[in-house]
A and B are shown apart, each in its own frame.
Chain A
């Protein structure tokens, strides 16, 4: 019972994605330590969040195969994200 819509991605692609993930993680750690040399927090936060989003997208698109899979799965992902952001906003409003 295989899923006919999941393409066979080559191990080479998986390894390339891993190399990117590892490199981005190293960059993140370096950026997080940049506050010690006086880098202001706002650009630091922007860079860290951008890198985290890129890393999450790489895993979702290549390792979870959403790049080639049915768009319905992508829709569920975005519905979940929408409600997660909504919940986060509510929490911000309540706890602040």
Chain B
């Protein structure tokens, strides 16, 4: 009896205690305070600084968040262990889907907020697609993300056929397309800002930039994650028997693509 319990316990993996989730929580917690205090001046020793308290909190929060993510991912890579499947469900993939489930709720709320505010202020919305070049830019961005999703699955298909160079090549494509998307989005934000639409200009501006900025942040995190996948691939971390790390990143990247598909239609293409 004792023997069988010991045998069974050998198959149960408990991850080592880690402090990274606490650091991650600290970084995430700083972000909403940064948004709330965006307009609050920062005074040190009677001297008003060039940036606000909110900007400092946002920058600090983002830095802490990225460090925590990097640390957590690195500790996970170092402690690579096999976690058995239960009832046909892979635990890592299950965890990723649970995470994506919460993301669906967050983005659902953000998209609904933009649509509701937009119906009350149709004039602000026309800025997004008028003149025609604005719509052209957003459409180009949509094609870039669709292409990146294709590159992602072709990279996965490559490593499943033990083609490591193929994986690195396609992942490089995903990263470049992600960077191109962010560049165009940055240009669009600057253009809208020069036309009077900003985070604080109106309710629509606040809702729109919070949604698209949040999505852009997800793309940025995806680009960093993609770089990690490439580095792991170059170091021989993946082969035809071990490609789950690529698949899990793919789930995240495709989710970001799906969110953009919905944003593109519901925020940009809807008639006034």
Contacts and interface: CB of A to CB of B under 8 A. Distances in A.
B112 A92 contact: yes
A53 to B, nearest CB: 9
B89 A2 contact: no
A18 B149 CA distance: 9
Interface string B26-54: 00000000000000000000000000000
Interface stretch (B58-66, B68-76, B178-186, B238-246): B238-246
B97 A76 contact: yes
Contact of A32 (B109, B242, B269): B269
Nearest to A12: B157
B254 A64 contact: yes
A76 B250 CA distance: 17
Contacts of B123: none
B105 A25 contact: no
If over half of B's interface residues share one DSSP class (helix, strand or loop), that class is named, otherwise mixed; here it is: helix
Contact of B108 (A22, A49, A84): A84
Interface residues on A, range: 35 or more
A13 B117 CA distance: 40
Contact of A11 (B94, B116, B157): B157
Nearest to A50: B265
Interface stretch (B4-12, B17-25, B135-143, B215-223): B135-143
B135 A29 contact: yes
Interface residues of B, number: 63
Given A45-B271, A77-B97, A91 B160 contact: no
B97 A88 contact: no
Nearest to B268: A32
Given A3-B247, A91-B109, A79 B94 contact: no
Contacts of A5: 85, 88, 90
Nearest to B147: A18
B258 interface: yes
A92 B139 contact: no
B262 interface: yes
Contacts of A8: 157, 160-161
Interface in B149-206: 149-150, 152-154, 157, 160-161
Interface in A53-89: 55-56, 59-60, 62-64, 69-70, 72-73, 76-77, 79-81, 83-85, 87-88
B94 A2 contact: no
A75 to B, nearest CB: 9
A32 to B, nearest CB: 4
Nearest to B241: A2
Contacts of A80: 100-105, 108
A35 B82 contact: no
Contacts of B85: 4-5
A11 B157 CA distance: 7
B107 to A, nearest CB: 7
Closest 6 CB pairs of A and B: A84-B108, A80-B104, A80-B101, A88-B112, A52-B265, A32-B269
15 contacts: A14-B157, A18-B147, A21-B149, A25-B264, A44-B271, A45-B270, A48-B265, A59-B149, A63-B153, A63-B254, A69-B93, A76-B100, A83-B104, A88-B109, A92-B116
Given A9-B157, A25-B139, 8 more contacts: A3-B93, A22-B146, A25-B142, A25-B264, A44-B271, A49-B266, A63-B257, A87-B109
